[in-house]
Amino acid sequence: MSDSVKQTSHMLLKSINQQKVLFLIYSEGPISRVELAEKTGLSRQTVTNIVNRLLKEKIIVTGELIDLEAGSGRKRVGLHINSGHFYAIGLELAGKYIRGKVFNLRQEAVASAERTSNKYGSIDVLMRLLHEVIDELLTQVPNNSKVKGVGISMQGLVDSQHGIVLRTPGIGVHRLPLKQLLEDKYNIPVYIENDVNLLSVNENMNGCLKDSNNNITIKFDYGTGGAIVHNKQIIAGSSFVAGEFGHYKGFYGEDAYPCHCGRSGCLTTLASSSGLSVSIKCTLEEFAEGIRTGDPKFLGLYEKIVDGIAIAVTNIITFINPDSLLMTGRVIPTISPEMFNEIKARVMHQLPVTVNNVQLIHLQDKPDETKLAAGLVIKRAFEIPLDTLSL
């Protein structure tokens, strides 16, 4: 092995070891040097060298003394992340608004900005509003060089690997190279993910799906979308549209309204706020009011929507056989507090006994999507070796 190859291998190993230590400090801090050595398997001297380097660079700081072990009376210096050293921008790009926040490494919001639009109408308008939000957020950060990236959670089809938006909310199919456009303008990393995929990953890691290896998440909101997880991995599909539950056919005959996908009868035409607005010229809130007042027209349509969702959910559970299926979004709780229970009852009645052990979950309080988007940046900050740029 040549000297240059040996040097490169040594630098890479050094970076990987540093990332192990840094991630543990981030996820479990305050934590002592002794605990870091035990949990990483690295020698105490190696941990000390890494910690000293991180302290010098002010990436981590020392805190209060912590017990080394219960009842021992011995204490060690606790180490934790310097939350003000790095920042991440999280954006939620939806059909009628763009919301953004700046988070520190403790995932505390330190700044926010928002723009709204009844309809973007064009890529130019969308990009202008997006730039306005990012620009406003950057003016609120003490030092822009400390911004480690922009994470975007968006309602639309996304090739997250290449940062290409396949279908832009409120505009349609354009194959917009959003990652490249923003990175060229701001010279900071950009990470993009579909909103339902991002929510699903969060719930699988930290939320109500953490004990489930195989599950489905369905979101009924401005649009209708889904995410499929197998063995804790998101299934993207050959063209990144796996889980596109909104285009499952759920309505027929006079209720099969045209869909923006070019077909008709898709769930999203009635089981989403944008679908209700286009199909029956009614807002989600007006539809909910019609249900509450007992309007026969709305009550009849409500039955068809509940039945359409229940049949579609029953079929997808039967076909995929997940441990759990999670429903979320504004549509169900806004229309009726009993809607989820009615859907659940019909699904469980229709399911074959071979798959009726599935757990149906309703998540009413969704996490802040800007925070989830910022998490994309923070996750990458701890995954990418800090020294690799010098290799």
| pLDDT tens track for 64-115 | 666 555 555 566 788 887 777 789 999 999 988 999 999 987 788 999 999 9
Considering the domain boundaries, does residue 216 fall inside one? yes
- Sign of the torsion formed by the C-alpha atoms of 75, 80, 84 and 90: negative
Whether 162 maps to a domain, the answer reads yes
**Mean pLDDT of the region 208-212:** 92
Q: Stretch 330-341: mean pLDDT, rounded?
A: 96
Q: Is 129 found in the same domain as 35?
A: no
314 and 222 in a single domain? The answer is yes
| Cα pseudo-dihedral 45, 51, 53, 54, rounded to 10 | 160
372: confidence class by pLDDT, cuts 50, 70, 90: very high
Asked if 234 and 316 sit in the same domain, the reply is yes
Model pTM score: 0.80
Q: Is residue 387 part of a domain?
A: no
Query: Is 388 within the bounds of a domain?
Result: no
Q: Which of 22, 54, 81 is the last residue of a domain?
A: 81
Q: What is the pLDDT of residue 237?
A: 87
pLDDT beyond 60 at 3: no
Same domain for 179 and 297? no
The arithmetic mean of pLDDT across residues 130-151, rounded, is 93
> 198 pLDDT exceeds 70?
yes
Mean pLDDT, residues 354-366? 93
In CATH, what number is assigned to the domain containing residue 13?
Answer: 1.10.10.10
For residues 340 and 303, is the Cβ–Cβ distance under 8 A?
no
DSSP strand E in 222-278: where?
A: 224-230, 233-234
Structure confidence at residue 385 as a pLDDT band (50, 70, 90): very low
At 118 the pLDDT is 85
129 and 190 both lie in a single domain: yes
Last residue of a domain, one of 56, 81, 106: 81
Give the mean model confidence (pLDDT) for residues 211-219. Answer: 95
Would 391 be classed as within a structural domain?
no
The predicted structure's pLDDT at residue 390: 34
**100 and 41: one domain?**
no
Tell whether 340 is covered by a domain. yes
Residues 129 and 184 in one domain: yes
Read off the pLDDT of each residue in 169-194 and give the average, rounded to a whole number.
89
Phi, psi of 334 (to 5 degrees): -75, -45
* Segment 281-297 mean pLDDT: 96
Our count of domains for the chain comes to 3
What would the pLDDT profile of 44-71 be if each residue is shown by its tens digit? 899 999 889 888 878 888 876 665 555 5
Residues 6+ apart with CB under 8 A from 17: 40, 42, 46, 50
Q: Which residues span the domain enclosing 59? A: 3-81
CATH of the domain at 94: 3.30.420.40
Nearest to 85 by CA among 381, 389, 390, 379: 381
Percent composition of the chain: helix, strand, coil (DSSP 3-state, to 5): 45, 25, 30
Both 154 and 264 in one domain: the answer is: no
Same domain, 222 and 177: no
Specify whether 218 is located in the same domain as 331.
yes
Beta-carbon contacts of residue 14 (< 8 Å; ≥ 6 apart)? 387
pLDDT (average), residues 174-203: 93
Q: At a CB cut-off of 8 Å and minimum separation 6, what does 93 contact?
A: 130, 152, 153, 154, 155, 156, 169
Establish if 351 belongs to a structural domain: yes
Of 39, 65, 81, the residue at which a domain comes to its end is 81
Average model confidence (pLDDT) across the chain: 87
- What integer pLDDT is reported at residue 366 of this predicted model? 82
Q: Which bin fits 310, alpha (ψ -120 to 50), beta or left (φ > 0)?
A: alpha
Q: What is the pLDDT of residue 7?
A: 53
Average pLDDT rounded to a whole number, residues 267-289: 96
**pLDDT confidence bin for 386, thresholds 50/70/90:** very low
Give the pLDDT band (50/70/90) at residue 358.
very high
Asked if the structure places residue 132 within a domain, the reply is: yes
Are residues 218 and 351 located together in one domain of the fold? yes
Give me the mean pLDDT over the 4-13 stretch.
55
Shared domain for 343 and 258, answered yes or no, is: yes
Distance CA(22)–CA(53), nearest Å, equals 11
